[in-house]
Amino acid sequence: MPPKKRITMHDHAAEAALFKRRALFTFFCVFALLCVLFYNLYNLQVVLYKDYETRSNDNRIRVVPTAPSRGLIYDRHGVLLAENQPYYSLELIPEKVSDVNATLDELNKLIELTPDERENITETLKYHRRFKPLTIKNKLTENQVATFSVNQYKFPGLYVEAGLKRHYPFNGLMTHVLGYVGKINTRDKAQLEKSQQWKNYAATKDIGKQGIEKYYEGLLHGIPGHLEEEVNNRGRVIRTLKVTPPLPGQDIYLTLDLNLQQKAMELLAGRRGSVVALDPRDGGVLAMVSSPTYDPNPFVHGISGKAYADLLNDKSRPLINRSTQGQYSPASTIKPHVALLGLEEKIINEHTRVWDPGYWQMPGVERKWRDWKKWGHGWVDVYHAIVDSCDIYFYDLVYKVGIDKMATFMEPFGFGKSTGIDIFEESDGVMPSRDWKRMRYNQPWYNGDTISVGIGQGYWTTTPLQLANAAAIMANKGKRFTPHLLKSFKNNTVKIDTPIDEQPPIELKNSRNWDIINEAMRQTADKSRFTDATYTAAMKTGTAQVFSVAKDQKYNADTIAEHLRDNALIIAYAPYENPRIVLAVVLENAGWGGANAGPLARALLDEYILRDEWAVKP
């Protein structure tokens, strides 16, 4: 018997309902996915349009910063002191060179690499980023550039870069004033990032390191420009889309007088010392020479380690700016200022006389302080005390005045603090006081300390710039200016003079006291170096001990080491009636101030006062 067939009953209503639910679910899923798709399309095409356009352009357009040309530096008469010269350097990108040593060996056949250059490349590569260019040869000649260009196909990863580099045409004449530029190092980069200036140096390799170059970096550097280049997927340039030229740095004009600077360097003749000349009418620095000096040009391209070590270890210390960093006992050059203090405090007057037997004793003390003149000067008033530089007169004066009044009185003349000149390399010097000695040595102040300070010895130290500034205040009868080097700068085509920083004047109880001291300085000049001058001048010399001579011993320059001999100093200004120049000269270990520093001062004043009228105009 055949099996029975199963009869299936269809519930069409249930099936229809199930199909409907499935269809709706599928529809909503498709709709939701379409919504997500359209949302993403909207987000990409509308909301994030700018972002993706920028990313696309970044892959297609390369922005290359271009360095601005550095501003030029001139003296007060428009003579160029710092310029930009074209240069060529050979650059290497390490990641594009498979074997650096073999490449350098092959390159050496075309362009000679010195052992120092090879060593420097090897050392630098140890920490240099492989994708960044590395300079392997500076200052290529035109022949070397031509030779390499012909053979460049043999050296993948090497190329010649052209640009402008700083050059100082007068070599070491202006080094301590101008300073120099050098390669931006890690410390420079950190400072630029801290001041949010790093973007302005994206295409710049050099920055001011010292002197004017560093102080006025903001004026001299300029503003970088950029190129927008279209590149392919391999980075090859297809075309230039846009050029934004850089703005060059501003040219600046200094108060320096090149002729006077050259004359001062010539007179120093390599001896250790300094000359500072100021215009007392506005505080402008006419000359600032520190000797010995050094050529700043090697620092621009990267000085070798050996050459720098030689400068650093040189016993003459050429790297120090003696004009602003050298600290010397002012010796008798400050006697006019001490005498002015005595007049102001009425310890002395124009006619006060002191007996000088060749020594002076403090009341109740057995020790004798000697005069430079063994047999003394006899009766001495304030004029003769300054003209003949009588130590006894000033021993007695400062003993009566005291160190407290002396320190307070000398402060407005700029002793013991920086002058504020527009370079960073400046020392404060020392204007000693009770508090200073307690803080420095944790010792009390003794009357004997005051006696030494009273003739510019002991703890008192000044820089040549401070000495010149104090002399200018004396010549101006209390009128004061902040010494400065910047005279003007050129903004586009307009030359703008910088404002003069005039400080509150020093006002005396009796203004005639200025005349008394200046007259004594005029008599000093008339008696010695300026007897035959066609102009009137004022001066004061000084001879500063470098070390103390024992009580029973006599100073003899011929029997002591050269570096222990006395320093020679002089301050001077001219013309006496209307001063146009103030000088301070310091010669290290030269001996007697009048005999050694005096001729330099006379020659420099002759150079400035007697030249043609165009050269003395401010």
519-556: burial string, b at 16+ Cβ within 10 Å, e else: bbbbbbbbebbbeebeeebbbbbbbbbeeeeeeeeeee
Q: Where are the beta strands (DSSP E) in 420-566?
A: 480-481, 486-491, 494-497, 502-503, 538-544
Q: How far apart are CA 213 and CA 227, in angstroms?
A: 28
3-class secondary structure per residue, 354-404: EEECCEEECCCCCCEEECCCCCCCEEECHHHHHHCCCHHHHHHHHHHHCHH
371 is in an annotated binding site: yes
CA dihedral 337, 341, 347, 352 (to 10 degrees): 30
> Is 332 a catalytic site residue?
yes
Q: Extract the tokens encoding 165.
A: 């580099």
Q: How far apart are CA 243 and CA 250, in angstroms?
A: 21
Using a 10 angstrom Cβ sphere, with 0-12 exposed, 13-18 middle and 19 or more buried, the burial of residue 5 is exposed
- 273 forms beta bridges with 291, 587
3-class secondary structure per residue, 533-551: CCCCCEEEEEEECCCCCCC
Q: How far apart are CA 513 and CA 340, in angstroms?
A: 7
Beta strand 237-244 with 61-66 is: unpaired
Residues 6 or more apart in contact with residue 589 via CB below 8 angstroms: 272, 546, 562, 563, 564, 565, 566, 567
Beta strand 73-74 with 251-254 is: parallel
DSSP string, 249-299: PPEEEES--HHHHHHHHHHHTT-SEEEEEEETTTTEEEEEEEES---SHHH
Rounded (to 5) percent helix, strand, coil in the chain: 40, 20, 40
Using a 10 angstrom Cβ sphere, with 0-12 exposed, 13-18 middle and 19 or more buried, the burial of residue 241 is middle
Other C-beta atoms closer than 10 Å to the C-beta of 301 total 17
Strand order in the sheet with 237-244: 61-66, 225-231, 237-244
Closest CA to 540 of 336, 282, 245: 336
356 is in an annotated binding site: yes
CA distances, 235 to each of 135, 162, 239, 243 (Å) = 22, 21, 12, 18
Q: Which of 332, 389, 433, 452 is catalytic?
A: 332
Question: What are the binding residues for Zn(2+)?
Answer: 356, 371, 377, 390
Point out the residues that are catalytic. Answer: 332
Q: Which residues are annotated as a binding site?
A: 356, 371, 377, 390
